[in-house]
Structure 1
Amino acid sequence: MTTKLAFCLLLLLMTSVCRARDPFFVADLHRCRPAEDARVPWRLLGIIGREGRYHGWLLSPQGKLVRATTGEMLPDTAWRIASVEEEAITLASSLDCQPRLRLALKGRQDAENILAVADTD
């Protein structure tokens, strides 16, 4: 009788420890960083190329110049270059939890917007 009781107790303990994994339960709850930690301290310095074949130049927080091409990862980050356009680069998080970021060049369009506002006075 004691053997049966011990066996049942052991079986009960094993079923609670070795239960099947729920495939719909997200095990890694802290995989995404809070939005304030997800800032990209990279600066867009310029974009060269022609329609469909643009390349950007980014300055890393450590001061290194990095050539940016669509599909590449930014070194030492979780950001991938989603697209390089004529006046902007779009970054996507490889963690799929952060919104896309757009790094745009400042220049001609910003100057035109400032002049348009100045002319309305």
Structure 2
Amino acid sequence: MKWRFLVLLLLLPAEVLTQDAPRRNPFIPDEVAQCPAAIVEEEQQLLNWALRGVIGRDGNWYGWIQTQAGSWIRITRQKPLPLFYWQLDHLLYGSAQFSDKSAGSRTCRSRSIIELKLRK
């Protein structure tokens, strides 16, 4: 009777260990792989934007961004972006710098600051 119990006890962990674990891409760090898809999509969207113009002076700057789809967005420090996870941090002649709004999800991003330079 003890032999059967011992054999059963030895076989149980083997069955648990042979269960397939979910597979992940080994080239993406764990924290990025667990990042919500909306955050990753929004970061990629922002990286595909192009800063096309900046005008203003003394902290009152306006900029124009062209999206990958071809639409235009007018940006200022006072106007919210059509993004949930990113905000305009600095806008100067020739560059716009965006930073993430939420410190909690920073670990799942590849970067916490994105800077767009004026393209001619």
TM-score range for the pair, normalised by the shorter chain length: 0.5 to 0.7
The letter of the residue matching 2:115 is R
1:7-86 equivalences in 2 (<5 Å): 30=35, 33=39, 38-39=43-44, 40=46, 41-86=48-93
Indicate how the Cα distance of structure 1 residues 102 and 94 shifts in structure 2: closer, same or farther if over 3 A, else same.
same
- For the 8 Å contact 1:69–1:84, the answer to whether it is kept is yes
Q: TM-score, normalised by structure 1?
A: 0.52
Q: Which runs of 5+ in 1 are unaligned?
A: 1-28, 108-121
| Structure 2 gap segments, 5+ residues each | 1-33
CA distance in 2, matches of 1:61, 1:74: 16
Q: 1:59 to 1:79 in 2, by over 3 A?
A: same
How many percent identity over aligned positions? 23
Q: CA deviation at 1:95?
A: 2.8
Greater Cα radius of gyration, structure 1 or 2: 1
> CA, structure 1 residues 45+77, in 2 after alignment: closer, same or farther (shift >3 Å)?
farther
RMSD: 2.7
Query: How many residues end up aligned between the 2 structures?
Result: 78
